[in-house]
Amino acid sequence: EVQLVESGGGLVKPGGSLRLSCAASGFAFSNAWMSWVRQAPGKGLEWVGRIKSKTDGGTTDYAAPVKGRFSISRDDSKNTLYLQMNSLKTEDTAVYYCSDGLAVWGQGTTVTVSS
């Protein structure tokens, strides 16, 4: 079964850090470009960033609101995608989804940034 499962969400104070994980199964993860997408409460979908496959260079790109604070990485040996979030702000509060950029999406993990 093709699946993505996010984990690592939780409550963190402003200025804190959190690392999200996304475990992939059922498809060729190493060949896939992967994205993180978030959705703040009651708001629309917001693209966070993307990492290319290693064969395509493995480079990353980020949305302006998170550039310099968030970092995406991947471990193809573990079929796992990561999102390292530093210097968190209250406006980063959202459900975070990983996706293959097309049809495969996780169920989301909730990040709450609050004092």
Partner 1 sequence: DIQMTQSPSSLSASVGDRVTITCRASQSISSDLNWYQQKPGKAPNLLIYAASSLRSGVPSGFSGSGSGTDFTLTISSLQPEDFATYYCQQTHGTFGQGTKVEIK
**Residue whose entry in the numeric block shows the structure tokens 């896939």:** 32
Q: Among residues 13 and 28, whose Cβ is nearest to partner 1?
A: 28
Residues 6+ apart with CB under 8 A from 68: none
Which of 41, 44, 57, 68 binds partner 1 (CB under 8 A)? It is: 44
Span 49-68, contacts to partner 1 by CB under 8 A: 50, 61, 63-64
∠ CA 66-68-69 to the nearest 5 degrees?
60
Distance (Å, whole) CA 42 – CA 61 = 26
Q: Please count the CA atoms within 13 angstroms of the CA of 57 that sit on its side-chain side.
A: 4
46 binds partner 1 (CB under 8 A): yes
Span 24-43, contacts to partner 1 by CB under 8 A: 33, 35, 37
Residues lying near partner 1 in the complex (CB under 8 A):
33, 35, 37, 44-47, 50, 61, 63-64, 97, 99, 101-103, 105-108
